[in-house]
Structures are given as C-alpha cells and as structure tokens.
Chain A
Amino acid sequence: MANPASIPVRKYDAIVVGAGGSGLRAALQLSTAGLKVAVLSKVFPTRSHTVAAQGGVGASLGNMGEDNWHWHMYDTIKGSDWLGDQDAIEFMCKKAPEAVRELEHFGMPFDRNENGTIYQRPFGGHSQNFGEKPVQRSCCAADRTGHAMLHTLYQRNVFANTQFFVEWMALDLIRDAHGDVLGVTAMEMETGETMIFQAKATVFATGGAGRIYASSTNAFINTGDGLGMAARAGIPLEDMEFWQFHPTGVAGAGVLITEGVRGEGGILLNGNGERFMERYAPTMKDLASRDVVSRAMATEIKEGRGAGPNKDYILLKLDHLGPEVINKRLPGIREIAMKFANVDPIKEPIPVVPTCHYQMGGIPTNYRGEVVIPKDGNPNSVVPGFYAAGEVGCASIHGANRLGTNSLTDLLVMGKSAGDSVIEFIKQNPEYKDLPADAGQASLARLAKLENQQNGENVHAVGDAMRQTMQAHCGVFRFPDMLTEGVTKIKEVAARAERLEIKDKSKVFNTARIEALELQNLIEVAVSTMVSAENRKETRGAHDRADFHDRPGFVNGRDDENWLKHSLWYKGTDKIEYKPVNLNPLTVESFAPKARTY
C-alpha cells in the first residue's frame, strides 16, 4: 500500500462535492465572493441528475392568482406529515421567490404569461389559503425545468469562473481528532490518481441514492456517495426510512413522468376506467400529495383494479388536454411516452406505477446548511467545516414526504444558504487546520482491497441483490415481518459487498472500479433505510406500516406521542438515536400537528 504521505494535496478555501443544482448554486455563491473554490463532480456538471427534473420549482410568486409564502409553508409542513422542521420550512418558503427570480436574472428560460411574468402551474399538495383549493405555484420551463435550471446554473458558474474538477469521484471525508472536517480524498476517473482536497470548508451536494431500489426514476450516478462518505466518517444519517415513491414512473422502465401532467389536467384511471383519486382525496384528487397518490395507486393494483393484461399498472390519461397543450407544456413527456411506453399520449393513456424517486432523509443539517450531530447533550451540534445541501442534506424541510417542486426550491435555497454559511465561517476561520497523519489512508486501503480481492463477489450480482431486497422488503407498503427479514437480508448483502471483486485492473477510466465504489456507498444507504424503517413503529408520510394503520387516537396510523421525532442512524453499530422535530418557525406561529387529508 502506498504511503499516505505520497498522496498529493491541493488546498482550497472551499470544496463542493457534486455539481447538480445545489452544488452549482453553492459554488456560485462562493466564486462570486472571491473564494478559491473547487467543485468535484463524477460527471460533467450538466449531466447531473437535476437535469431530469421536469415539472417546476415551487415559489409563491403569485403570478397566476393570490399566493404567499405562509401558505407554501403550511403545505410543506402538512406534506411532511409534520416531521419537517418548521424553522427550515419557513426559511425555504420565504426565500423561494427570491431564489427563482435570481435564476431568471441569470437567464433561465422560464415559460411566460401574456403579461411577461413567469408561468406557474398547479402541483400536488400546493394549495391556497391553508388547504382550501389548488394553487398555481410551480414555476416551469415546459416539462424541462431541471434541464433549464441546471444549464443556467452551470452557465452562470462559467461566467463566475468557478473551477471544476470534472470526472473526479470523492472517496472519503477527512476529519481530525476533534471531528472537524478538513476535506476529502478523491480519485480522477480518467487516470485513477488519488488526491487530497484540503479545504477550510467542505460542502456535500452529492444528491440522492434512489439506485438502492430496483425500480427507480433515478440516474445511474445517484449512488449516495455523500451519504456513504458521511456514514463511514461517523456522521449519523437522519430519517432514512422516508423514501418518496413518485406516482408516475413509466411501467417497466421507471422513467419519470412529471406530476405537471396532472397539474395541467391529466388524471389517473384504474383498470375499470374509474377516476379513483376522487375516493381517496375528495378535494385535491389527482393533485393530492405524492405519498397519498402512490398509496392509492398501489391499493387499486393490489385489490385487482389495475390496468393492462396483468392488471399491474395505472393509466395516466391526458389526451383530453389536446395536442396544443401537450406539445406546448409537456413536449418532453410526449417524447418519453413514445420512446419508453410506445404510446402517444395525445391519443392514448400512459401506463404508470409508483417508482422510487427521492430520499427525504440524509445528512442532518440546519437551515444554514451546517451539518449538525448530537454531541454533549446538544442534538444539533455543528460539525465545523462541514456543510450539506440539496437531496443529500436533511434540514429537515421535507420530513416524511416531499411536495412536488420543493426539491428544486430546496436545492436553490439550501445551496445558496450553505454557500453563505461557508463564506461566514471562512471569515472567522481563515487558517487551514492540520491534516491528520493518516489522512487518506482509509481510501487507499479500500482501493487496495478492491484491487487485490480474489474469489470475491460480482458487483452486478451484489447490486441486484441489494435492489431486489429493498424493493421487496421496503417499498410503498411495509409489513413488520418483511422488514425484520429485510434487515437480516440487507446485512447479508452488505457483508457480500465487503468482498467485491473487479476484473478490470486498468488505471484508465476504470468504470468497474467506480461502480464498485458506488455500490459501497449505496449499501450504507440501503442498510440505514431498512434498519430505520424496521425501527419506526408508526405510519407517517411515505413510511406506511401495515401494523400501524388507522387506530382510535392515531389518525392514519401516525403516533405523534411516541414518534414525532427524527431518527439518526449510525453505521457499524446500527444504533438509532432520536432528536426532536423543531415545531418552532422563525417568525410565525407553529402549525400544530393535525389529521392529514387532501
């Protein structure tokens, strides 16, 4: 094994790991402030998964009718099934309009109204006047909002001269004896060279890990690298039991069909041609929150009312919108439906099923994007030098269930907020801290083990086992016996992942090595998810347990007395700690938990 001292070191004021929406937004803040910043990304920035977001970014601009951030805040809290922290939610909803307008100033090609303002469409769970009726809050660029946003943010970073390290994969977090974060080790994919990126501040913007499931809307690169690195470095992961299953993934293919289809007037039909959402959500119907719609769809299928020869999917009908609306507002959807479902939505409905989409949990942070962990009796003690934003972070804005459009709002607001916090931190801590003597050693050991493993496990086979286990044991509906068995099974898979073997030994762009390293991150996410899900004995938001459904005193199976709290999972021991939900907003009155109906 190489001497750790031989790993080259580069020093930056700040490094950002990940170049999706939140990473680019944070980087922009840092570059503009004149800091020396490096952005590390596994892919060219515009290939990050933000590019696949479709329907819009939520902000109460009020361009289509009356709206305000307080209503947006209420909707987000209700959507979160009251697990979201109300200070963070207030912060995001209040900052959202400014974040969207800034993006417009950067050049984002939003759709427009006749009066020239940004067009906004209705979206699930977003309402006027605290749940009264749907509101048009989703600012969009046709059904390519994420693409338009990511390219705009990248372009603005080109303008700001941000330094990118493209096709560099971060391997491990570097912490010193005090637990302070001093940077990461990373590998250049083209050459296989490793390097230490030392920094006064490290921002994780590594996105989600939806690839732990077999059926997922997520890109191949969404492998939870930030979560894996944090967990290995002793940082707990928060609320990992909460995964969003998006109601409309193309059946069989998993590719996302935006909720914006229903926002524009599309409806869901079961095999009998019935608009079943009227039964489940009389007010919001097809625009109820995603967990509610996904559960309704899964129930229809389970009870034999699915569509198709095997009655195993639901139909998303939008032909009644007419070719003009479809071609103008949903052109990308039409393209996807024709390519991946062989149907032209102008004429026929699209077969869809609930599909893993988004992780509500992640690395615990506050609304400033600072990573916080329990220490000396303080559940939210700041880890100096460490920040997280976007899907990898858990502020917690989304609680037990995220509203559509709020992922893009989150990454803009939290990316910028993390950037601002870093600027402030560096002002007060201008010196580099000393790297520990063993910095980088863990990464080198991991690489060496992978390099030398013989008679080991095939990366694809172990990955498949993980994805099948998660899909079967920890999906839309969760059952106590399946979860218990799931914990045993996923730990068996994790043990196999300790012995991954790759045949490719080349130094040059070794994608087999990268996939193995990614799987090592994914498996941490999978274990944390299964253990946290087995542990939480209630139904809340996206976490639906068959043994905790409607009981007297527990609306929808939610148990506020015992479970209105965040889970914190620790790698290794699988210990779970808890911390209270922050029910105190920054300036307005608290929204007390109540029954959640749409």
Chain B
Amino acid sequence: MKFNILRYDPDQDQKPYFKEYDIALEPSDRMLLDALIRIKSVDDTLALRRSCREGVCGSDAMNINGKNGLACVTKISDLKEPVVLKPLPGLPIIRDLIVDMTQFFKQYHSIKPFVINHDTPPETERLQSPTDRLELDGLYECILCACCSTACPSFWWNPDKFVGPAGLLAAYRFIADTRDQATNERLDNLEDPYRLFRCHTIMNCVDVCPKGLNPSLAIGKIKEMMVKRGV
C-alpha cells in the first residue's frame, strides 16, 4: 500500500517534505494506525503520537487524505491510494505528524473546564434527574483530539482569540450541567467579538468529529442564551 507522508524534523530539515512509502500490509492490519506502525517498524524515524488505538484517548489525530481524523479508527479499506498524511493543519509542527497543541489546550483551559458550585457539598451525591443528565450527552464525550478546531478556518485565522469548537463544546457542557452555578460568568467570558462569535457555522467541526459530536449545535445554543440574556 502506498503512502505519502509529510515529514519534518527541525533538527535536520530546512522545511517539510513528502516522503513516499510502499509497504506490504498483513491481513491483521485493519486500521490506518496499524499501517503506520508497520511503516515505523522499518523506518523508526517517523514520529507520531498514539496510545489507546480505539478512538478514546485522542492522541493520533492527523490529516488523512485531506480530512482530519483519528488514525486508529480509520479503516485502511476506506482509503484511496496513495494515502496522503499530514499533521493537523493550523498548529505549529513539532515533528512529522506531531503538532504543538499548546494553543488548543490554552483555549480549552480558558473556558474554566470544571463544574463551579459554591454550595457545601451534601453528604451524598448531588441529585440530578435523568432528563437533566441527558443534557450532557453529546457534550461530555469529547476526547480533545483537536480534529474539529484544526479543521475550522476561524480557528486557523485566530487561534489565540477564538476559543474554537472543542473549547466551546466544553463551555456548553458546563453551562448545560444543572450542578454548575456559573452560567452568567461563563457567558460573560465568551461575550467578545472573537471568543464565541468568530464561529460562522461552517460546520467543518461536525463533519470531522470522530466521536460524532456536534460543536456547532452547542455553539448555537450558547449564542441563543447570549441573545436571550441581552433582551
């Protein structure tokens, strides 16, 4: 199987370049990550992140034939040859398929990703109805792989100012939690020409999310709350 992989090692390369690989796969190689590991067994200089190999840790996000996705849950049989692999777009390359995610996590941290509740916790659990809990479905499952944010043109242009789809999905996850008491502060935190409103509903985030989540919908709900609050 043929691959074209963007390589870059700042230790020795002036600039990124494509390297071609033609590799014999075994029948047990089902996912793109299996193929990459096979490549790595003959060329140990290829650098990538990977861990759980089942789509839940979010390590091996990359640009696969032009679309962001996780290597470990991308079936080889679904890929057109040569498979073109690039690091996630819009973030600085550290090496090969590894990008510097500092900016991405900075945005995630900026939305205060924790439940804020000023009451003294009860002896037992805080109660939450199944209906209220249902509000968190489609939000809490995010794996912070950054496929969405790095597929978003608004994030490419303003990674320092626009929170991006992953961070905004997380923001809404806490707004939607009945145990959280900081909705107003959270909305204040996003009330800015860039942080929330740079989302132009291009929907790339929805298209690429490997967990099938919909950041665009969550962003829409935050915007709605902003409008209601303004009235």
List the interface of chain A (C-beta within 8 A of B).
43-44, 46-49, 51-52, 61, 100-102, 104-107, 109-118, 141, 144, 147-148, 151, 155-156, 158-159, 190, 219-221, 252-253, 255-256, 332, 335-336, 339-340, 458-460, 502-504, 506-512, 515
Contact = CB atoms under 8 A, between A and B. Distances in A.
Contacts of B30: 253, 340
Question: Which 6 pairs, one residue from A and one from B, show the smallest C-beta to C-beta distance?
Answer: A116-B127, A107-B115, A512-B44, A460-B41, A155-B114, A47-B57
Contact of A158 (B75, B95, B109): B109
- Listed residue (B9, B54, B180) with the most chain A CB atoms within 10 angstroms of its CB: B54
Contacts of B53: 219-220, 255
A144 B140 CA distance: 10
Contact of B114 (A49, A107, A110, A340): A107
B125 A512 contact: no
16 contacts: A44-B59, A44-B144, A104-B125, A105-B125, A105-B126, A109-B177, A117-B127, A155-B114, A158-B114, A219-B53, A220-B52, A255-B54, A460-B44, A503-B45, A504-B45, A508-B10
A101 B51 contact: no
A158 B115 CA distance: 11
Contacts of A105: 117, 121, 125-126
Interface string B66-100: 00000001010000000000000000001110100
Given A112-B130, A159-B114, A219-B53, A118 B144 contact: no
Nearest to B48: A511
A147 B142 CA distance: 9
Interface of B: 9-12, 28, 30, 40-41, 43-59, 73, 75, 94-96, 98, 101, 105, 109, 112-115, 117, 121, 123-130, 132-133, 136, 140-141, 143-144, 174, 177, 179-180
Contacts of B46: 511
Contact of B44 (A48, A106, A253, A459): A459
Contacts of B132: 112
Given A144-B141, A506-B95, A51 B52 contact: yes
Contacts of B55: 335-336, 339
Contacts of B47: 509-511
Nearest to A513: B44
A44 B101 contact: yes
Given A105-B121, A339-B55, A339-B73, A503 B128 contact: no
B9 A106 contact: no
A137 to B, nearest CB: 15
Contact of A52 (B57, B73, B123, B179): B57
A535 to B, nearest CB: 33
Contact of A106 (B51, B105, B114, B128): B114
A51 B28 contact: no
A47 B133 contact: no
A506 B9 contact: yes
Nearest to A504: B45
Contacts of A510: 47
A515 B44 CA distance: 10
Given A155-B114, A508-B94, A252 B28 contact: yes
B31 to A, nearest CB: 8
A151 B11 contact: no
Given A47-B51, A116-B129, A339-B73, A147 B56 contact: yes
B57 A51 contact: yes
B179 A107 contact: yes
A116 B96 CA distance: 48
A49 B52 contact: yes
A112 B133 contact: yes
A221 B60 CA distance: 13
A508 B114 contact: no
Contacts of A335: 55
B195 to A, nearest CB: 18
Contacts of B11: 506-508
Instruction: Find the residue from B44, B49, B53, B113 having the highest chain A CB count within 10 A.
Output: B44
